[in-house]
Amino acid sequence: MTNLQTTISKVTVFRDAARVTRTGTVKLKPGPHKVLVTNISNYAQSDSFRVKGRGPAKLSSIDVQSVTDVFEPSSDIKPLYNELKGLEKKRIEINDEIEFQQGRLVQVNSMVAEFSNHFGMVFAANEGDIKSLSEMDKKSTKLAGEIQKKIRELSDELQDLDNKMQVLRENIGKINSERKTVSTYSVEVTLEVSSDSKIELDVTYQTGGAGWSPRYDVDLHPTTAKLRRLALVRNRTEEDWMEMDLTISTATARPVEAIEGSPFFITAYDPKMVGRAKSGRAERLQSKPSVSLMGAGVFPPPAPPPEVVEEFAEAVETVSGIAVYELPKKMTIPSDHEQHPVTLIEEELNSSTIHYWYAEGMSEVVAQDKVTNNDSVILPGKVKVFSEGDYIGETSIGQISPREEFKIGTRVAYDVKAEKKLVEREMEKAGVLRGKLRRSYDYRLEIQSFSKRKIEVEVFDRVPHSSSTQIEVKIDWEKLAPKNHELGVIEWHRELEPNEKKSIAYSYSVEWEKDVTISPPLP
């Protein structure tokens, strides 16, 4: 049997596992040989071992075995055990002595009680002397005191003995805690060597206790977005990855299942379930996250140090959109509980800035960037967003497929001002419309650009939408000419040159029967 010393030469980190390659070289003479590779992480999957090699030899078989080693503590605990055993023996002797003295005390008390009872009868018969009772009482009291004193001394000695035994047990426990059992794998490789030469073997296996999480930096520009991909790599395999070739893969090691269709059963409506359904729906509505503006009130970070030249990984798209990043330099990632950041690539994505304003609910215009992904999948993760180098804030994104469009970088657009104005509101009295009431409104939306470049603004507003035949909302949609309108929500699309101001005017009226109460009330 020949022991082969190997080092970890290559690691491919998946999102929830890793594939490790160990490489070693050994010089062998012609003939059959068994080569043993030891100390492989217990996190390795026993059925994932593969062996390849280079040299004039044939690989016959590989045998994977689990090995358990017990590491004894360096301190010798035998004297401590012997001392503890002696103290336990002495403790038994003290307990026996205490029980003996307690028995003596009981006998003395019994003897005094019996003598007192018998002496009463003797004294009544005028056959005894009172001095005898006094003498007996004096001697019994002295003897009982001596016995009690002895019991107290023995109890103190027993307490001191217990304290010493407690210290010994704690010391023995500390030494035993240094004892550990380590399980590893070993691989026995059978080779048939044809000539005297060096044989190089690669042992590859898949291991748990490793993975990575994606992080991103996005710097938004008028027509492009610079996306920097980072991987936070974790190595908890109990094997240090030292000076090895590192590859990051977006694939996962867990199995994927194709779920077959199943019947969808429905039943009759049950009124008892209405309250429960409404309660659950209300909770879902209350827990719905609100839309926040990134970057509002956030100041940019201090200026970064001078830039240095960076080397990035080479990205390759494989089957089903999986991306693989091969790092250009050897990396070192120790086995610990930390996350180690690794910069993957920086790429330019096509981007365009769009502005958005909902006049009914927003006092300020916001800007977003519509970005088109390149050929590598963007996994869910946190993103630090910049706009032309200025820090906006941090957000998170879901999974973005290759070449998919997504929006990012919502921030207040300080270079665009927008305002909704109520120009006129008129209420007509009952009787004018044959028993109906009518209220009419005139609004004007004003948008002004202070940007240095041409901008596009998506403008939204709303008018009441009636779900009752007793209430009618009238508006001239042809004259208004919106891009889209649905259930009273109106959408316009406007382009503004630098310092240009545009306005959108519209009017509508609401008519209803005079005995009808509108809910919620009209503005």
Output the pLDDT for position 372: 94
Average pLDDT estimate for 372-393: 89
Q: Within 10 Å of residue 294's Cβ, how many Cβ atoms?
A: 19
How far is it between the farthest Cα atoms of the chain?
Answer: 141
* CA angle (508, 513, 518) in 5-degree steps: 65
Q: In the predicted model, is pLDDT for residue 174 greater than 90?
A: no
Q: Which of 71-80, 131-140, 200-209, 419-428 has the lowest mean pLDDT?
A: 71-80
pLDDT classification of 177: cutoffs 50, 70, 90:
low
Give the percent of the chain with pLDDT over 90: 37
Q: Between these two residues, 244 and 140, which has the higher pLDDT value?
A: 244
Output the pLDDT for position 26: 92
Output the pLDDT for position 272: 55
Average pLDDT estimate for 161-176: 81
Give the containing element (helix H, strand E) for 246: strand 241-249
Q: In the predicted model, is pLDDT for residue 19 greater than 70?
A: yes
Contacts of 340 (CB under 8 A, 6+ apart): 232, 233, 234, 235, 333
pLDDT classification of 467: cutoffs 50, 70, 90:
confident
Residue 87 structure tokens: 């103290």
Print burial letters for 329-339: b (CB count within 10 Å at least 16), e (below 16): eebebebeeee
pLDDT classification of 84: cutoffs 50, 70, 90:
confident
Q: Which of 23-27, 237-241, 379-383, 510-514 has the lowest mean pLDDT?
A: 510-514
Reported for 291-296, long-range contacts at CB under 8 A and 24+ positions apart, including other chains, are 293/366, 293/410, 293/411, 293/412, 294/385, 294/392, 294/393, 294/394, 294/395, 294/409, 294/410, 294/411, 295/385, 295/387, 295/391, 295/392, 295/393, 295/410, 295/411, 295/412, 296/411, 296/412
CA 389 to CA 307: how far, in whole Å?
Answer: 13
Average pLDDT estimate for 382-395: 89
Contacts of 70 (CB under 8 A, 6+ apart): 179, 180, 181
| Residue in 361, 355, 367, 366 with CA at minimum distance from that of residue 461 | 361
Q: Which of 67-76, 86-95, 353-362, 514-523 has the lowest mean pLDDT?
A: 67-76
Output the pLDDT for position 297: 38
Q: Within 10 Å of residue 312's Cβ, how many Cβ atoms?
A: 15
Output the pLDDT for position 176: 66
Q: In the predicted model, is pLDDT for residue 141 greater than 70?
A: yes
| Residue in 489, 521, 507 with CA at minimum distance from that of residue 440 | 507
Chain position carrying tokens 């869910």:
380
Contact 32, 192 (CB under 8 A): yes
Q: In the predicted model, is pLDDT for residue 292 greater than 50?
A: no
Output the pLDDT for position 313: 61
Q: How far out from the chain centre does Cα 269 lie?
A: 41
Q: In the predicted model, is pLDDT for residue 202 greater than 90?
A: yes
Q: In the predicted model, is pLDDT for residue 283 greater than 50?
A: no
* CA angle (471, 477, 481) in 5-degree steps: 155
Please, which residues bridge with residue 357 across strands? 459
pLDDT classification of 427: cutoffs 50, 70, 90:
confident
Rounded to two decimals, the pTM is 0.60
Chain position carrying tokens 């940019």:
300
DSSP string, 66-82: EEEEEE--SS--HHHHH
Q: In the predicted model, is pLDDT for residue 276 greater than 60?
A: no
Task: Give residue-wise pLDDT tens across range 326-363.
Answer: 998 999 999 998 999 999 989 999 998 889 999 988 88
Give the percent of the chain with pLDDT over 70: 81
Helix, strand, coil abundance in the chain, percent, nearest 5: 25, 45, 30
Residue 520 φ/ψ, nearest 5 degrees: -70, 165
Mapped onto helix, strand or coil, the DSSP state of residue 366 is strand
Residue 378 structure tokens: 């963007």
CA 201 to CA 187: how far, in whole Å?
Answer: 12
Contact 465, 473 (CB under 8 A): yes
Q: Which of 29-43, 305-319, 423-437 has the lowest mean pLDDT?
A: 305-319
Contact 448, 500 (CB under 8 A): yes
